[in-house]
Chain A
Amino acid sequence: MTSAHPGLPEFDYVKPAGLKEASQFLAQHAPEARPFSGGTDTFVRMRDGFFNPKYLVDVKGLEGTRVLKIDEKEGLTIGAAIPMNRVVAFAEASRYPLLVEAAKSVASYQLRSRATIIGNICNASPAGDTIGACLAYQGVLNIHGVDGPKTLPLNGFFTGPGKNLLKPGDIVLSITLPVPPKGHAGRYIKLGRNRLSDLSIVGISAMGVKDSSTKSGYKFHLAIASVAPVPFIPAKAEEILANNALNTETIILAAQAAMDAVTPIDDVRGSAQYRKFMVRNLVNRAVTEIMQKLSA
C-alpha cells in the first residue's frame, strides 16, 4: 500500500509491569529505547525518520501515571497517561484557567484524546503550548529513575530545542501544579497561521494576581512559546510589571522589554522579525486583558 507518509519503521513495543523494571530497561537500552505517552510526537518523528528507536516503552500502565487529582494543599497532579481532553474536562482543573485555555489550543479534539501534557513537556519543543502555563503555575515534575523517585522543577528543565534534563531511565510520572494564588487571572494567546489547530508562531502565557508585596500591587508570570531555543520567561518584563504603577505606559514598557529579550528564528511559520513584533503586541494584549479581569 502506498501512502503520503510511510508506515512506522520496525520496533518492539514494550509494556513494563513495574516502575523499577521500566527505568532499568530504558537505562540499559539507551539510546535505543524511548518512553512514550500519547505517541503524537513520537510516531510523527519516526515516520519522518528523525527517531529510529528499537524499543518503544509504553508508560501508560505504570503506577503513578494515571493520576488526575486535586489536593487542597499540594495542588493539581496530572499523570503522564492523562490525555489533554481529560484535563480540560476535569472540573477542578478550572482553578487553573491558563492551563485549560492552553490545552484547548493544541491541535484538534481527536489529537487531544491522545496527546498528553507530560508528552508536551518532555518533547521540549519551544512551541509546546501547555508548557508556559505549567511554568507560570510553578510546576514540579515527579520522576522515576534508576535510583528511584525524584522531583525536578519545570523552571530550568529545558536545555535546548528537544532537550531537557532527563537522564536515561527517567520516566516522568506526573506534574504537580501547586495551589495557584487566590483570585489570579490567566490568558493564553496563541498566534497560529489559522485560527484553530496550528502550531504557534508565537504563544503568550500570562498569569497575574494582586500582590501586596510588590510596588505595583500586582505580580505577573509570563512565558513565551516559539521565540527562543527553550520556552522563554521574560524576566525583565515581569520585573517592570511588579515595580511600576500599572498603567498603559508600564504595560508598553514591559511588552517592549519582552520583545527585546526574545531570540526567535525564521521558519516556515513566520520570520524572526514578525515574531518579535507579535511578542510586543500580544504581551501587551495579554497583560491588558488580565488587568481587566482582575479589576472586574
Chain B
Amino acid sequence: MGFHQISVKVNGNDEVVTVSSNMTLLRMLRESLALTGTKNGCAAGECGACTVMLNGEPVNSCMVLAVEVDGQEITTIEGLAKDGQLDIVQKTIIEKGGVQCGFCTPGMLISARALLNRNPHPTEEQVVEALVGNLCRCTGYSRIIESVQAAAERS
C-alpha cells in the first residue's frame, strides 16, 4: 500500500506527516498528531463527533483521507481557543450546561463556530439545521441550541 508525505497546517502549526493511503484525517489527527479532542464515533459520517474544519468548512474527518488534505488548513477543537481565551461558544456551552458526557461536544462546537462564521446571527431553525449532523445522546439538544444562540447574541 502507498504512503504519502503531506504538509498540512493544523491549528496554525505547519506539520509534515507520512500517511498511508487508507488513513483517514480523523486517524491522522488522533494517532499521528495526538490531537485526541476530535472523537471517533460512528466512522460513517452519521454522528459528527469527528467534525473538524477543513479550510474553514466543517467536515466529518472520518470521511476525508489524510492524503486529501495535503496543502490545506485544519482547525480542530484544540485550535478553537485563542491566546488562552475560550471561544465565545465554548464559554456559553459551559454556562448553559450544554455538556453532559462531552463526547459530542468537540464536533458540536466546531459545527457551531463554522455556522457563526458564515452566519453570525442565525435563527433557531438555522442553528438546528447546522447541527443536524452532530448527534448528542445526553442533553436533548435544547441547551446546546441555546448556547449557540447566546454566543450569537454576545458577538
The answer to whether A39 touches B64, judged by C-beta atoms less than 8 angstroms apart, is yes
Stretch of A110-118, A121-129, A250-258 lying at the B interface: A110-118
The answer to whether A110 touches B59, judged by C-beta atoms less than 8 angstroms apart, is yes
The answer to whether B60 touches A110, judged by C-beta atoms less than 8 angstroms apart, is yes
Provide the residues of chain A in CB contact with B62, threshold 8 Å.
Answer: 43
Residue from the list A4, A6, A7, A12 in contact with B42, Cβ < 8 A: A4
Provide the residues of chain A in CB contact with B132, threshold 8 Å.
Answer: 108-109, 196-197
Stretch of B50-58, B75-83, B87-95 lying at the A interface: B50-58
Residue from the list B20, B65, B67, B133 in contact with A111, Cβ < 8 A: B133
B-contacting residues, A1-32, CB 8 Å? 1, 3-13
Q: Is the interface of A mostly helix, strand, loop or mixed?
A: loop
Known: A40-B63, A107-B133. A113 touches B21 (CB 8 A): no
Residue from the list B21, B67, B111, B128 in contact with A110, Cβ < 8 A: B111
B48 to chain A, nearest CB (A): 6
Number of interface residues of B (CB under 8 A): 37
Closest to B67 in A: A13
Provide the residues of chain A in CB contact with B27, threshold 8 Å.
Answer: 7
The answer to whether B68 touches A113, judged by C-beta atoms less than 8 angstroms apart, is no
Task: Tell me, yes or no, whether B130 is within 8 Å of chain A by CB.
Answer: yes
Task: Tell me, yes or no, whether B24 is within 8 Å of chain A by CB.
Answer: yes
B-contacting residues, A149-199, CB 8 Å? 196-197
Provide the residues of chain A in CB contact with B115, threshold 8 Å.
Answer: 109
CA of A109 to CA of B68 in the docked complex: distance in angstroms?
Answer: 19
CA of A9 to CA of B22 in the docked complex: distance in angstroms?
Answer: 7
In the complex, 26 of the A-B residue pairs with CB atoms within 8 angstroms, ordered by the A residue number, are A3-B40, A8-B22, A9-B22, A10-B1, A11-B1, A11-B22, A12-B2, A13-B4, A13-B22, A38-B63, A40-B63, A43-B63, A107-B45, A107-B133, A108-B48, A108-B132, A109-B115, A110-B58, A110-B133, A111-B45, A111-B63, A111-B133, A113-B57, A113-B58, A114-B63, A196-B132
Chain A residues engaging chain B, CB cutoff 8 angstroms: 1, 3-13, 38-40, 43-44, 47, 56, 58, 60, 85, 107-111, 113-114, 196-197
Chain B residues engaging chain A, CB cutoff 8 angstroms: 1-2, 4, 20-22, 24, 27, 31, 40-45, 48, 51, 54, 57-60, 62-65, 67-68, 111, 114-115, 128-130, 132-134
